[in-house]
């Protein structure tokens, strides 16, 4: 596939998700139809530029790929180095997590002291998971592999890098606010020479 058409998949996804959000603000519809759009995007692992697929030796990386001008959604490439994992955290907005490369393990939690694990899901390439305050918003995510990187494409119902949310201590249930930011200062070009209209 040429460099030109590599960028088309992300451009198409942006267009289709924008159209969906023009049509509805109903979270259930966004999650179910958005899941189908994300499945289409991650069905092929040939479009993410290498720059946004690079693991960091110490920390998992969050590369912003696109943010809607009205902050209705953002698209982020999460790159897990071998054995890396998040703290237990929430999102406060809807989110879709699509596995592109490798695999990850998501453990869901309920508030409490200690916090109670309420389910473990392993995401393989092509699978999409959902989070939101209405469908379950607290989890911990880990690279399923100790010897290679994994990459998932996340879509959130806001400019997620600027949202104040929470990390949780498993034993005490205590929560602290955090804002994740992003790992990158430049973005890919989803429209390089391609007419996506
Ligand atoms: Fe998460």
21-60 per-position pLDDT tens digit: 999 999 999 999 999 999 999 999 999 999 999 999 999 9
Q: What are the φ/ψ torsions at residue 30 (nearest 5 degrees)?
A: -60, -45
Cα–Cα distance for residue pair 169/41, rounded to 1 Å: 34
Å from CA of 91 to ligand 1 middle: 6
The predicted pLDDT at position 56 comes to 97
Q: What are the φ/ψ torsions at residue 101 (nearest 5 degrees)?
A: -150, 135
Å from CA of 195 to ligand 1 middle: 33
Å from CA of 140 to ligand 1 middle: 7
Domain count, the chain: 1
Structural domain includes residue 107: yes
Structural domain includes residue 35: no
Q: Which of 63, 163, 78, 164 is nearest to 123 (CA)?
A: 78
Structural domain includes residue 24: no
Å from CA of 159 to ligand 1 middle: 14
Structural domain includes residue 23: no
Structural domain includes residue 36: no
Structural domain includes residue 97: yes
Structural domain includes residue 154: yes
Q: Taking all residues of the chain, what is their mean pLDDT, rounded to a whole number?
A: 93
Å from CA of 164 to ligand 1 middle: 13
Its pTM stands at 0.93
Å from CA of 1 to ligand 1 middle: 31
Å from CA of 170 to ligand 1 middle: 15
Cα–Cα distance for residue pair 130/136, rounded to 1 Å: 8
Range of the domain at 75: 53-178
Does the pLDDT at position 5 exceed 70? Answer: no
Structural domain includes residue 47: no
Å from CA of 90 to ligand 1 middle: 6
Using alpha carbons, list the distances in angstroms from residue 82 to 7, 58, 79, 85, 148: 27, 9, 10, 9, 5
Render pLDDT for 96-144 as a digit per residue (tens, 0 to 9): 999 999 999 999 999 999 999 999 999 999 999 999 999 999 999 999 9
CATH number at residue 143: 2.60.120.10
């Amino acid at each position: 596939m040429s460099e030109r058409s590599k960028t088309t998949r992300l451009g198409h996804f942006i267009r289709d998700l924008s159209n969906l959000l023009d049509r509805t603000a109903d979270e259930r519809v966004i999650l179910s139809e958005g899941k189908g759009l994300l499945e289409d995007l991650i069905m092929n692992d040939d479009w993410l530029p290498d720059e946004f697929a690079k693991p960091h030796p110490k920390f998992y990386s969050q590369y912003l790929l696109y943010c809607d001008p009205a902050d209705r959604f953002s698209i982020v490439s999460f790159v897990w180095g071998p054995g890396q994992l998040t703290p237990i955290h929430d999102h406060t907005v809807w989110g879709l997590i699509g596995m592109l490369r490798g695999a990850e393990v998501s453990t869901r939690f309920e508030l409490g002291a200690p916090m109670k694990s309420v389910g473990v899901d392993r995401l393989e390439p092509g699978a999409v998971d959902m989070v939101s305050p209405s469908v379950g918003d607290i989890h911990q995510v880990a690279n399923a592999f100790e010897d290679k990187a994994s990459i998932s494409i996340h879509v959130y119902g806001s400019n997620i890098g600027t949202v104040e949310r929470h990390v949780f201590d498993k034993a005490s249930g205590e929560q602290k606010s955090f804002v994740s930011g992003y790992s990158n200062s430049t973005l890919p070009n989803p429209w390089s020479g391609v007419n996506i209209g």
